[in-house]
Structure 1
Amino acid sequence: MANVFVYGTLCHLPLLETVLGRAVAAVPARLPDHAVFWAQSQPFPLIVAAPGQTAQGLFVPDLGAEDMARLDYYEGGFAYHTREVTLDNGHSARVYFPDPGHWLPGAPWSLADWVAARGAVVTETARDVMALYGNTPAAEALRRYGMMLGRGASRLRAARSEPPTLRRAATSADVDIVAHRQPYANYFAVEEFDLRYRRFDGTWSDQTTRAAFVSGDAATVLPYDPVRDRVLLVEQFRPGLYARGEANPWLLEAVAGRIDPFETPETCARREAQEEAGVVLRDLIEVAQYYPSPGAKTEYLYSYVGLCDLPDATPRSGGLAEEVEDIRAHVLPFDRLMDLIRRREAGNGPLILTAMWLHANRATLRSAG
């Protein structure tokens, strides 16, 4: 049996119990001459030697070999390994320290701030991390952790969906998962399920295999200047068009981007408008929330119209160099956008949907200035 001193995120009991796969008895404890900081540019903390300071944490006694293996997997994925220390209560315990030089300390750590801003997403994501335990090396889980956080945040948003008024009022008991596989995992992932589901007559379907392309939630926004009656489109290379065999794989779109794990869809829309086209949005008006291709993709979209100024000055090219983006912005009259849609040159679902919404509401927006 082993005693462990946990600090930082694992002091959040829902996360600790997700990692261990069971409830635990833990009591407050302190480690003298140490302090806890945020790891620079990371959503988790680290502990360092700090003479005269005291690190707050939890003492978790009598963990078995399986408990330690699960903790080693979760913490080892982040390049943390244990050392034996003595706590202020006199107990000896193992503590997970970062590998030398792997992470650098940033601002002082605050558990309350982390729980409020990130705790739910990180705890949800830990379910995915620990699902890989015993099958995938911890280093591989760390490599994909950023995308896994995005998926965890997406799942939390999905759980907040409105109750049905016409659809079946389904529960988790209406789908029976026989087996689950992840044959591909990189920035995106493909997951396969051997499953059966409850039919509308109450009987069970035959067992079948279904696959889903896991890509996380995204936001789209069409910048619109109601005074000048102009919209802004972006143009960029899209691998989906190329893989389908399009002769011209450059696509006209609304501004769009993946929602970062710890931001709202609205914040994402405003951020992407600045990154892709240098546009600062005023009012952000929701158009729709929807699944664009639910037969095969987990992607869920939040689409907006963003009111802004679009003067004659040519907007800058945009995109992030670290994401190998090369984006060109086009400012054009609204009627030109509708012509492009009719000619199928703007063949992009979120853009078409948003343009149709704007067509129906444009007079109201223009009269309001």
Structure 2
Amino acid sequence: MTDFFFYGSLCHPPLLRVVLGREVRVVPACLPDHSVAWAADGAFPMIGQGGAGADGLWVPGLSEADVARLDFYEAGFAFVTREMTIETAEGPRRARAYFPEPGRWEPGAAWSLSDWVARWGEIAVATAGDFMRQMGVVPAERLWARYGMMLMRGGARVRAGHEATRLTTRRRPAPDDVAETRVRQVYANYFAVEEFDLRFRRFDGTMSPEVNRGVFLCGDATVVLPYDPVRDRVLLIEQFRMGPHARGDRCAWLLEAPAGRVDAGETPEETARREAEEEAGLALHALLPASNHYPSPAAMGEYLYTYIGLADLPDDAAGLGGLLTEAEDIRAHVLPFERLMEMVETGEVNTGPLIVLAYWLDRNRARLRAEAGA
């Protein structure tokens, strides 16, 4: 049996429970002459020598299987364990603790567990569940290579759990309406594909036979159409897209609204403002929620948050943009609103989110122009 001292995110009981796969006894403890800081440019803590003492938890009596689960989860942080003497209400104890490899991470501000829980707690717990299910299936190094994308999916799962959909016609689900037999990840790189063996409640009240279904997982995304209600103009971006190219479309350069994945720890609104700045160099005045939706629910877990972004769009708002670090090559177009609707009708605009936003704006445009004094 091995005793451990935890000083950071594993002091959050729901996360510790998911990582270990069971409940354990925990005792408040402190490691003298040490302190805990946020890792610079990271959403996790690191411990270092010096300071008034690092508060945390002593967890005694962990088995070899427990330690293997901990090592699997901690692999991506480049931490190593050291045996230290800690102080507990039951007296001094020897316990192992995870320390960063020398020079791997730089310390930032003083660590706050409550701040971490408020912003990252639910996402980290949801992601840890996905992560630990791959133990013994996928090496930890491969998982950590795409951990950022896994956090995006964790964030999507948390948002989906909190959103309340008004149901007037659709079925009201019960807890036992879906029974999963097996879930496995069959592909994972930037995106992932998972297969489910499950049964679901039929409309006659019976359960369906077991079916196998694959889902393409890519996290939630935000789409924002910049609109200048005074000049009655929109801004569209044009870029090369792999989907049309793989389909065999000879013109794989599409007109779209600025869009991007909702990063972990980020709100959809923050994503909209960030993407407008990165892809078009725009600072949006206001965000107007439009129609959130699943673009292809039969096979994709993607969910889109869509907005109209009020902005100033003078003639020189068009130009070239995008992030070189993401191999983006983007051209922005500033067009009259009526030109947008013409291209929707002719099919030159053929991306679903932009079409949805164009029709939403068409329905609300007169009101927005009146409010802007146009």
The question of a shared fold, defined as TM-score above 0.5 by the shorter chain, is answered with yes
Amino acid at match of 2:103: G
**Are the aligned partners of 1:3 and 1:63 in contact in 2 as well (CA < 8 Å)?**
yes
Identity of aligned residues (%): 57
1:58 maps to: 57
> Offset of 1:137 from its aligned partner?
1.1
**Are the aligned partners of 2:45 and 2:111 in contact in 1 as well (CA < 8 Å)?**
yes
Amino acid at match of 1:39: A
- Equivalences for residues 140-151 of structure 1 within 5 A: 140-151=142-153
User: SS at the partner of 1:90?
Assistant: strand
Q: Residues of 2 paired with 1:137 and 1:24: CA distance? A: 26
- Runs of 5+ consecutive residues of structure 2 not aligned to the other structure: none
- Equivalences for residues 10-29 of structure 1 within 5 A: 10-29=10-29
Amino acid at match of 1:116: A
- Please identify runs of 4+ aligned residues in structure 1 that moved more than 4 A: none
User: SS at the partner of 1:35?
Assistant: strand
TM-score by length of 1: 0.97
1:251 maps to: 254
1:233 maps to: 236
User: SS at the partner of 1:359?
Assistant: helix
- Runs of 5+ consecutive residues of structure 1 not aligned to the other structure: none
2:119 maps to: 117
- Equivalences for residues 67-82 of structure 1 within 5 A: 67-82=66-81
- Residues 172 and 322 (structure 1 numbering): CA distance in 2 closer, same or farther, change over 3 Å? farther
1:273 aligns with 2:276: yes
1:2 aligns with 2:17: no
2:33 maps to: 33
Q: Residues of 2 paired with 1:90 and 1:160: CA distance? A: 43
**Are the aligned partners of 1:278 and 1:315 in contact in 2 as well (CA < 8 Å)?**
no
2:98 maps to: 96
> Offset of 1:90 from its aligned partner?
1.5
> Offset of 1:192 from its aligned partner?
0.6
Deviates more, 1:234-243 or 1:39-48: 39-48
Q: Residues of 2 paired with 1:171 and 1:65: CA distance? A: 39
Q: Of the candidates 128, 131, 134, which is equivalent to residue 129 of structure 1?
A: 131
**Are the aligned partners of 2:234 and 2:334 in contact in 1 as well (CA < 8 Å)?**
yes
1:364 maps to: 367
1:286 maps to: 289
Amino acid at match of 1:55: A
User: SS at the partner of 2:33?
Assistant: strand
Q: Residues of 1 paired with 2:225 and 2:259: CA distance? A: 9
Q: Of the candidates 154, 179, 184, which is equivalent to residue 182 of structure 2?
A: 179
> Offset of 1:136 from its aligned partner?
1.3
**Are the aligned partners of 1:198 and 1:204 in contact in 2 as well (CA < 8 Å)?**
yes
1:84 maps to: 83
Amino acid at match of 2:126: E
Deviates more, 1:170-179 or 1:8-17: 170-179
Q: Residues of 2 paired with 1:79 and 1:303: CA distance? A: 38
**Are the aligned partners of 2:235 and 2:318 in contact in 1 as well (CA < 8 Å)?**
no
Q: Residues of 2 paired with 1:110 and 1:25: CA distance? A: 23
User: SS at the partner of 2:321?
Assistant: coil
Q: Residues of 2 paired with 1:315 and 1:335: CA distance? A: 17
2:45 maps to: 45
Deviates more, 1:293-302 or 1:336-345: 336-345
Deviations 1:341-360 (A, max 9, x none): 11111101000010001111
- Residues 172 and 186 (structure 1 numbering): CA distance in 2 closer, same or farther, change over 3 Å? farther
1:336 aligns with 2:347: no
| Aligned-residue CA RMSD (Å) | 1.2
TM-score by length of 2: 0.96
User: SS at the partner of 1:224?
Assistant: strand
Q: Residues of 1 paired with 2:305 and 2:41: CA distance? A: 27
Deviations 1:18-48 (A, max 9, x none): 1111112211111112211111211111112
Deviates more, 1:101-110 or 1:121-130: 101-110
> Offset of 1:8 from its aligned partner?
0.9
1:321 maps to: 324
**Are the aligned partners of 1:278 and 1:316 in contact in 2 as well (CA < 8 Å)?**
no
User: SS at the partner of 1:155?
Assistant: helix
Q: Of the candidates 283, 301, 304, which is equivalent to residue 304 of structure 2?
A: 301
1:156 aligns with 2:158: yes
> Offset of 1:314 from its aligned partner?
4.1
